[in-house]
Structure 1
Amino acid sequence: MTTAEVAEAHSHLVAFCDEFETLYVQRCADRIHLTRQCIHVLGHLGPETYRLGPAHNHTEATMEHTIGNLREEIRQPSNPYTNLSERSLHRGQVNMFFAMYPQFAPPSQGDLPQGSLNLGRGYALLPKADSKSTYILTLVEKAAIQRFWVKTGKDTTTFWFREPDLTCWACIHLPSQRNARSIFSELGDTWVMRPSRNIKFKAPGEIGFHVSKVRYYFARKTNPLAEDSDVEAFAMVSVYSPPNDALLIHSRNTLWSCNHQGDAELEVILVQHIQSVVGIAPFPSNSTLAGNLFMFEEIGRDIYLWNS
């Protein structure tokens, strides 16, 4: 979450607390009990998030889990509390060192499944992969790749998709430790409808973000003529329509209502522009918004700092 989002949330929460006390407490001493802890704490969430990070990072459950892990490291029963303090200090120093100098952190390739392609900086392409290059590009997909190639200022003479096919990847691992899937990962499984194939992305220089459905991921070498060249990864996405402004404003930027546009808004993006995995679900069939879709973000998915 960004500093601007924390500040906006804080202003809304403080306004809610003030209105609650104005309506129900009315500065009466015999009504103070109406302002319970769950109401009072809302005014502290914003500043404490800025000071300590997201609340779920320092809740009781997180602390109890950490205490359990540290207890397992005690190796001096004769003086357990001193040993526990030293283990806590050592872990804090190691974590701080890796946070300040991530280049020294242990490589994460060992945590990836077999057949993955590590792209660095926390990104990795995950199988399944179409190693035989049997996926045939449609004319709309070819046009989307060509537009991206021109928009990024590349030399069109080196356009590498002269052939009608390419190697597709099903999933990508993000620095937030989430896996973003795609429609390609569900081919052959007609009953599978995973919401994790929907992503939120933001290109450099843009103010707002976009929501899209991923068709597949693919990669190419930065220098196709060099065997040891770095690899770039891309996503073929179908962008959803912009949100309904009236609903978005009325819900204080909470209800994002959109529609799927299919081939009409097909784009190619760099996987580094993906911010998070989101869910897209239809409104109930008996509601006035039946036929439309809405976006939701699971708690804990969008908690890492995004440098754009």
Structure 2
Amino acid sequence: MERTIGNLVEEIRQHSTPYANLGQCAVRHAQLNALKALIPSIDPDTNKSPLTRWSKDVGRGYALQKAQERTRHNATAIKSLTICQYLETYHPSSSDFKFVTRDGIFRVCRWARLQLPNLQSNWSLFSQCKRRPNA
């Protein structure tokens, strides 16, 4: 809401009648949004992918986002077993099996953020620990 008000305030051009001009801008935006709702193909942002170039789509609207560890490290035995069981059950032909060592330990790589299907991002503890505290 605040962003919309800010955008409308930026569009005010005639300072002598700011509220009339603001009203016209609001009506124009409402009309444009109604058209985009009726005819989605006229919106250039409709076909844009919400993922950045460095994101990894993990399905169902979820995506991993940078920063990412440069090297993989060994997960615990319990975590490795859980990951392997999940992959065997839901993704038996996954290329991620190459990250399992001979001992059955899965080598993991941590990511900084997880993008949710509603396009909100969650920060991981890994990314928060890397940040320096405010001085």
* TM-score, with length taken from structure 1: 0.30
RMSD (Å), alpha carbons: 4.3
Where 2:85 maps in the other structure, the secondary structure is helix
2:77 is the alignment partner of 1:139: yes
Structure with the higher helix share, 1 or 2 = 2
Q: Specify every segment of 5 or more residues in structure 1 that has no aligned partner in the other structure, as ranges.
A: 1-61, 192-308
Which amino acid in the other structure matches residue 24 of structure 2?
A: E
Q: Is the 8 A contact 2:50 2:119 kept in 1?
A: no
Structure with the higher strand share, 1 or 2 = 1
Task: Specify which of 88, 105, 109 is matched with residue 45 of structure 2.
Answer: 105
Task: Specify which of 43, 60, 65 is matched with residue 126 of structure 1.
Answer: 65
Offset at residue 187 of structure 1 (A): 4.9
Corresponding position of 1:73: 11
Q: Is the 8 A contact 1:149 1:156 kept in 2?
A: yes
Which amino acid in the other structure matches residue 121 of structure 2?
A: N
Corresponding position of 1:257: none
- Corresponding residue pairs, total: 124
Given the superposition, is the C-alpha separation of residues 181 and 81 from structure 1 closer, same or farther in structure 2, using an over 3 Å criterion? closer
* Whole-angstrom CA distance in 1 between matches of 2:111 and 2:87: 20
Q: How does 1:168-247 map to 2 (within 5 A)?
A: 168-187=110-129
2:105 is the alignment partner of 1:166: no
Map Cα deviations across residues 191-215 of structure 1 (whole Å, 9 max, x no partner).
9xxxxxxxxxxxxxxxxxxxxxxxx
Map Cα deviations across residues 163-182 of structure 1 (whole Å, 9 max, x no partner).
44232212223344533233
Where 2:83 maps in the other structure, the secondary structure is helix
Corresponding position of 2:88: 150
Which amino acid in the other structure matches residue 129 of structure 1?
A: Q
Where 2:100 maps in the other structure, the secondary structure is coil
Offset at residue 183 of structure 1 (A): 3.6
Offset at residue 130 of structure 1 (A): 0.7
* TM-score, with length taken from structure 2: 0.57
Where 1:170 maps in the other structure, the secondary structure is strand
Percentage identity across paired residues of the two chains: 29
Where 2:92 maps in the other structure, the secondary structure is coil
Corresponding position of 1:56: none
Where 2:12 maps in the other structure, the secondary structure is coil
Q: Is the 8 A contact 1:173 1:179 kept in 2?
A: yes
Offset at residue 73 of structure 1 (A): 0.7
